[in-house]
């Protein structure tokens, strides 16, 4: 029973264009939503987050959108750069008895071509 799904295993984008990464979830109890980036042989690195009371958060080239009614989270990167090529994970926090625990999606491999 996967509570968090990233349905696109990979995404290929031209440098300078927009990258859109998507994440769907089933549990309405998630209260905080994060995106992590991972390079090979390194641990995931925190990128950007949003709480359940907001629908958009922007940080430079990165914007996270939350659609609670659709239980959908997305990350927009614009403009995309070759250095953005990595695996991107969405990670969700549920609170309550699961306080602190993050539930991750399976990841999307982003490749940005020069």
Which residues here bind other proteins, judged by CB under 8 A? 4, 6, 32, 34, 36, 41-46, 49, 89, 91, 93, 97-107
Q: In whole angstroms, how close is the CB of 102 to other proteins at the nearest point?
A: 7
Q: How far is the CB of 64 from other proteins (least distance, A)?
A: 13
- Cβ-based nearer residue to other proteins, 24 or 105: 105
Nearer to other proteins, 62 or 79 (CB): 62
**Looking at beta carbons only, is 74 or 79 nearer to other proteins?**
74
Give the strand pairing for 108-113 and 10-14: parallel
Name the phi and psi angles at 106, rounded to 5.
-80, -15
Q: Closest CB to other proteins among 41 and 53?
A: 41
Minimum CB–partner distance for residue 20 and other proteins (Å): 19
Four-residue CA torsion sign, 14, 23, 66, 95: negative
Name the nearest CA neighbour of 59 among 75, 39, 43.
Answer: 75
Query: Distance between CA 90 and CA 48 in Å, rounded?
Result: 10
**Residue 77 structure tokens:** 């990167």
């Amino acid at each position: 029973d996967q509570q968090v799904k990233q349905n696109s295993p990979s995404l290929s984008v031209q440098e300078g264009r927009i990258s859109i990464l998507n994440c769907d979830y089933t549990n309405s109890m998630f209260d905080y939503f994060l995106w992590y980036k991972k390079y090979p042989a390194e641990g995931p690195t925190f990128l950007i987050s949003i709480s359940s009371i907001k629908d958009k958060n922007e940080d430079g080239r990165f914007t996270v959108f939350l659609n609670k009614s659709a239980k959908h989270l997305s990350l927009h990167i614009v403009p995309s750069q070759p250095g953005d090529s990595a695996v991107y994970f969405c990670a969700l926090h549920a609170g309550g008895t699961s306080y602190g625990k993050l539930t991750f999606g399976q990841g999307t491999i982003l490749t940005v071509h020069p």
